Amino acid sequence: MPRGAVFGFLGPNGSGKTTTIRMLLGLIAPSDGSWQLLGSDMPGSAMRTLPRVGALIEGPAFYPWLSGRDNLARLDAAGPDGQRSTRAARIAAALQRVGLEAAAGRKYRAYSLGMRQRLGLAAALLRRRELLVLDEPTNGMDPQGTREIRNLVRELASDGTTVFLSSHLLSEVEQVCTHAAVMALGRLLAQGTLAELRAAGEARLHVGVDDPVRAAEILAGLGLADVVVRGGEVTARLDGTVGPERCNRELVLAGVGVASLVAERPSLEDLFVALTGEGFDVAR
């Protein structure tokens, strides 16, 4: 994944997203193969590489008997690059960034799910990072929180931080990501920029007309395939040779009244379902 990208990592439950993240960060060893993180071979370079990576893995985890602030201080003290002289200021800044200053002194035990999630994010933001790995960052958050996280991710990305965002919320990925990958059954099915991924699916033309039968004949005559009439709407596959402008002109010239005309790219959701299947069952 390119530096500076916001990379959406998609896949149904049980597809191997979290396992990939765990392996990436050296928590588990792969049964075969090797991997690199920020250009260095892992896990050998872990002590040098991981301080530059902020992570939120499978939800937050902190000591219930410590306050939010003390939890962050303990984590900061546990590894390299956590200068003691700047610790209090960095903690305050991180807490402020996730909107948790008011609850900083309260015990973690008393935090709500959304507050815990925010504290987890604050931990990932304690130091300047080159890469942020966020596993379901908006889990359990209220709509305002979700929105703030989206803005935060955009802000971090514009500062040059690469963000790896694992999620099953497609709208979230669609709104903030520049790149995406789809996994299922432990395999990577597709990856690329969001535009590339969308282009992979077929676009369809939707026209609302007063004379659907005549419109269908005209569209078929233009060479469009898969023409379907449904009520007052006619849809057809756009293969790129005949553009929507041309279709519109032909319809109007033939005397068909056009109420609406939309060339629809497949949504990420369509693509996701096309790649991973319709089933509701958890894989394996």
Partner 1 sequence: MLLAELRMLYRRTMVRVLLIVLFLIPVLLAVAVRFSGGPGAGQGPTFLDQVSHNGVFAALAGLTVCITFFLPLTVAVVAGDTIAGESSLGTLRYLLTRPAGRVRLLGVKAATVVAYTLSAALAVAIGGLAAGAALFPIGPVVGLSGTPLSLGDGIARSLLAAVIVGASLLGLAAVGMFVSTLINSPVGAMVITAGIEVAGLVIQGVPQLGFAHPWLFNHHWLAFGDVLRTPIYWSNIGRDLLLQVGYVAVFGAAAWARFTTRDVLA
Alpha helices, DSSP H, located in 112-221:
113-124, 143-158, 170-176, 194-200, 212-221
Q: How many residues bind partner 1 (CB under 8 A)?
A: 29
Least Cβ distance, residue 148 to partner 1 (angstroms): 22
Residues near 44 by beta carbon (within 8 Å), at least 6 away in sequence: none
92 binds partner 1 (CB under 8 A): no
The nearer residue to partner 1, 4 or 51, going by C-beta atoms, is 51
Among 32, 6, 16, 36, which residue's Cα sits nearest to residue 24?
Answer: 36
59 binds partner 1 (CB under 8 A): yes
The nearer residue to partner 1, 25 or 224, going by C-beta atoms, is 25
Site string for partner 1, 7-36 (x = CB under 8 A): ---------------x--xxxxx-------
78 binds partner 1 (CB under 8 A): yes
- Of 7, 9, 62, 272, the one binding partner 1 (CB under 8 A) is 62
Binding span for partner 1 by CB under 8 A among 49-57, 149-157, 170-178, 247-255? 49-57
5 binds partner 1 (CB under 8 A): no
Residues near 187 by beta carbon (within 8 Å), at least 6 away in sequence: 16
Site for partner 1 in 204-263 (CB under 8 A): none
CA atoms within a 13 Å half-sphere pointing along the CA-CB vector of 107: 6
268 binds partner 1 (CB under 8 A): no
Question: Helix 68-77 to helix 84-97 angle, to the nearest 10 degrees?
Answer: 130
Least Cβ distance, residue 143 to partner 1 (angstroms): 26
Q: Encode burial over 154-169: b for 16+ CB neighbours within 10 A, e otherwise.
A: eebbeeebbbbbbbbb
